[in-house]
Amino acid sequence: MRWQAREKEELYIPKLDKKYDFVHTINDVNITQYGEIGCLYSFDDGDGFILCYVPKETMRLLDALENDKVYLNKTERFVDGIRDCMNEEKIELLGHYKFLVTSNPERWGIVLRYQIMNRT
């Protein structure tokens, strides 16, 4: 195994000349303000999943969203503090699942499954 350590390639660390920020909200619940997006899955048929890690207060807001209801899903990208891109879509919440990730500080994982309503 030592030969693997000696022969490994150095990682390339990109140098960004701009500052990128993202704001993701569902029904005006700002996921990125206090939490973070773990991953997003989007399928060709309009189904999607969001996995995010959030504090208890944000988890309660997301958990209060009702299945089979339509909500606004909004993503904004800021480059050096200026909004560069915005995407809004109506989604129908198909289901959600929450789980405790850490207890101190209390951090929750929540998976939201949805269907995009305004696909063209």
pLDDT for res 3: 53
pLDDT for res 50: 94
Cα–Cα distance, 55 to 94 (Å, whole number): 22
Q: What is the pLDDT of residues 35-70, one digit of tens each?
A: 888 888 888 888 999 999 999 999 999 999 999 999
Establish if 35 belongs to a structural domain.
Answer: yes
Establish if 10 belongs to a structural domain.
Answer: no
The tokens describing 84, both together, are 């560069």
Establish if 6 belongs to a structural domain.
Answer: no
Q: Has residue 119 got a pLDDT over 70?
A: no
Sign of torsion, CA 76 28 105 107? negative
By residue range, what is the domain housing residue 35? 18-116
Count: domains in the chain: 1
- Proportion of the chain above pLDDT 90, given as a percent: 66
**Where is pLDDT greater, at 20 or 12?**
20
Establish if 102 belongs to a structural domain.
Answer: yes
Cα–Cα distance, 49 to 115 (Å, whole number): 9
**Which residues sit opposite 71 in a β-bridge?**
91
State the average pLDDT for the chain.
88
**Which residues sit opposite 78 in a β-bridge?**
21, 83
Establish if 106 belongs to a structural domain.
Answer: yes
Q: Cα-flanking dihedrals φ and ψ of residue 30, to 5°?
A: -80, 105
Establish if 11 belongs to a structural domain.
Answer: no
Q: Please report, for the domain that includes residue 34, its CATH number.
A: 2.40.10
